[in-house]
Amino acid sequence: MKNIFVFIFALFVIIICIPMLLIQGCDVHKPKVVKEPIVESEPVVRVYMHETGEIKLLSLEEYIKGVVAGEMPAAFQMEALKAQAVAARTYAVSRMNAYGKDGHPAHKGAELCDSVHCQVWLSKEKLRKLKSDNWMKDYWPKIEKAVEETKGLIMTYEGEPVKQPLFHSTSGGKTENSEDVFAAWVPYLRSVDSPYEERAPHLQDEQIVSAKTFIDKIKNKYSDCNINSYKLDSLKVLERSEGGRVLKLKVGNKIITGRELRELLGLRSANFKIDVEGDNIKFITSGYGHGVGMSQWGANGMAERGYKFDEILKHYYVGVEINKMK
């Protein structure tokens, strides 16, 4: 009788208790889902919060307001803010279409996140901490207006939502073809002039690197590089893109890309010139960012000259249309 009781108890533990413990253990690793106030008539987006590990459920338009606040200076012209809102909404919709209920592989359960991996998103609570009371009073209503006046609008190409509405701070006068920066050819991400960036703070910058630092970084990154001299005969730009960025650069016996050197040295742009000054190397950069898609400072310059948000978007994204999301 005692053996039967032990056998039944063991079965109970194996069949009922252990699976329950395993399930509970798995739940510990699931991100907590936090539901913000939702507007019933709007689509809902799931946004992974890197700082807390939570997933927030937000109304699409409320999410777009936080992205515009995080990605573009609120002091910009209204039409530039509207252009940013449409670009941000287009990106969100493309992610929703691409990843559905499972979410992005990098943050399962959520199509989007709050960092530059997706789009920078800032809550009103965080904005209150980062900005002044005057900023919230003067600029948050402006952002709300930009989003509300473009509600539901996205960019489409050949009838489908644009998948890569890329943007950057400053092009340096001309944007880039997508394949010259990210390898993939995208029809609407073509190189176009961006002439109205004269007020951009990083239209042109200089960064000085000591010869020793430069050589050490190159050798640490590329062990097969034989560079021992920092003279210009060891550094030579071999090829530039249509937008002016360095595609290929000779460094000693090695050929590297301008993008690789930009990342290695922390340059603002891969559109640079090289000037040797004594024991230092000066890099003169044009623009800030990867240079593909919409230049934010260029968009603001266009807005200052009377261009509307749809004209700005159609300039920087070739062949797109502006339509209500379905």
Q: Are 250 and 238 within 8 A, CB to CB?
A: yes
Give the three-class secondary structure for 170: strand
How far apart, in whole angstroms, are the C-alpha atoms of residue 317 and residue 321? 9
How far apart, in whole angstroms, are the C-alpha atoms of residue 180 and residue 151? 33
- pTM score: 0.85
State the pLDDT at residue 36: 66
Secondary structure letter of residue 185 according to DSSP: -
* Closest listed residue to residue 196, CA positions, set 80, 89, 87: 80
pLDDT at 3 over 80: no
pLDDT at 21 over 50: no
pLDDT at 20 over 50: no
State the pLDDT at residue 23: 38
Q: Are 180 and 296 within 8 A, CB to CB?
A: no
Block residue for tokens 């493309």? 94
Tokens of 194: 């961006």
Look at the alpha carbons of 75, 78, 84, 88 in this order and tell me if their dihedral is positive or negative.
positive
pLDDT per position as a tens digit, 114-160? 998 899 999 999 999 999 899 999 999 999 999 999 999 999 999 99
State the pLDDT at residue 229: 67
CB atoms near residue 321 (< 10 Å): 15
Cα 202-299-50 angle, rounded to 5 deg: 70
How far apart, in whole angstroms, are the C-alpha atoms of residue 79 and residue 283? 34
Block residue for tokens 């029809």? 187
pLDDT per position as a tens digit, 174-189? 999 999 999 899 999 9
pLDDT per position as a tens digit, 243-288? 999 999 999 889 999 999 999 999 999 999 999 888 899 999 999 9
Using pLDDT thresholds of 50, 70 and 90, give the confidence band for residue 100: confident
* Closest listed residue to residue 70, CA positions, set 152, 143, 162, 161: 143
Q: Are 190 and 177 within 8 A, CB to CB?
A: yes
